[in-house]
Amino acid sequence: MRCLIVEDDPTLATQLADAMSVGGFVPDIAATGDRGEFLGATEPYDVAVLDLGLPGLPGIEVLTRWRAQGITMPVLILTARGDWTDKVAGFRAGADDYAVKPFRLDEVVLRAQTLVRRAAGHARAVLTAGPLAYDTQLGVITRDGVAQRLTAFETRILGYLMHHPDRVVSRTELSEHLYDAGSDRDFKSIEVVIGRLRRKIGGAMIETRRGEGYVLRSGR
């Protein structure tokens, strides 16, 4: 799951990025409204954390432009304490949730995870597919109730497939949601990890559609 953090305070941006990484996200940071607007409009993020007080293009304007372009990713806005008008303007512009500074980092991560789940049509914190269960808050995947020993990358790939079971997920889509904007998108390593996942969780669960992608079978 990729997240965009638009925050001009470098310390806070780094803290947020670290917390979001621990929460299972691959974060990109934009330090200005213009950079944030551009990244959010051109990269397929699963969620954005958007500070409203930004140099240059203000946060509200960033959000307004995204929505005007039909970009529907969930957006959590960061507002200054006590600034009620900011919050209202944010919701009017299309925000999905907000956190008031100073906030707890883990609260923002939890809210972001909830937004991603809701956007994918899941109301619960635990996603299931056949014998698998993915606790999105703990970042733990179990099979028949037993925690699987998966690497962070394996968890990311399987977690993404569990958000979108029973449909074809192409390698391009997977790579777009697994790597940050700066890294090479490497199909080969996705294939290798899918192979490892098959050995760990059972080969029949992930089907390869030649030339199309992968389907996680939920058995539903």
CA distance 176 to 213: 13
Q: At what angle do helices 187-201 and 171-178 cross, to 10 degrees?
A: 100
* Structural tokens at position 55: 């140099």
Asked if 139 touches Ca ion (CB under 5 A), the answer is no
Count CB neighbours of 68 within 10 A.
10
Could you tell me the smallest distance in angstroms from the CB atom of residue 107 to Ca ion? Answer: 18
- Interface with Ca ion by CB under 5 A: which range of 50-58, 98-106, 180-188, 211-219? 50-58
Asked if 86 touches Ca ion (CB under 5 A), the answer is no
The vertex-93 CA angle with 102 and 107, nearest 5°, equals: 30
Q: Which is nearer to Ca ion, 62 or 157 (CB)?
A: 62
Could you tell me the smallest distance in angstroms from the CB atom of residue 162 to Ca ion? Answer: 35
Q: In the chain, count of helices (H) and strands (E)?
A: 8, 11
Give 124: exposed, middle or buried? Use CB within 10 Å, 0-12, 13-18, 19+. exposed
Binding test (CB under 5 A) with Ca ion, winner from 1, 6, 8, 206: 8
Could you tell me the smallest distance in angstroms from the CB atom of residue 115 to Ca ion? Answer: 21
Asked if 96 touches Ca ion (CB under 5 A), the answer is no
Asked if 154 touches Ca ion (CB under 5 A), the answer is no
Residue nearest to Ca ion (CB): 53
Q: Which is nearer to Ca ion, 34 or 173 (CB)?
A: 34
Asked if 51 touches Ca ion (CB under 5 A), the answer is yes
* Structural tokens at position 112: 């972001």
* Structural tokens at position 56: 């240059």
Asked if 130 touches Ca ion (CB under 5 A), the answer is no
Binding test (CB under 5 A) with Ca ion, winner from 34, 53, 83, 153: 53
Count of residues binding Ca ion (CB under 5 A)? 3
Q: Which is nearer to Ca ion, 53 or 131 (CB)?
A: 53
Which strand ranges, in their side-by-side order, compose the sheet holding 140-143? 126-129, 132-135, 140-143, 146-147
Q: Which spans of this chain sit near Ca ion (rule: CB under 5 A)?
A: 8, 51, 53
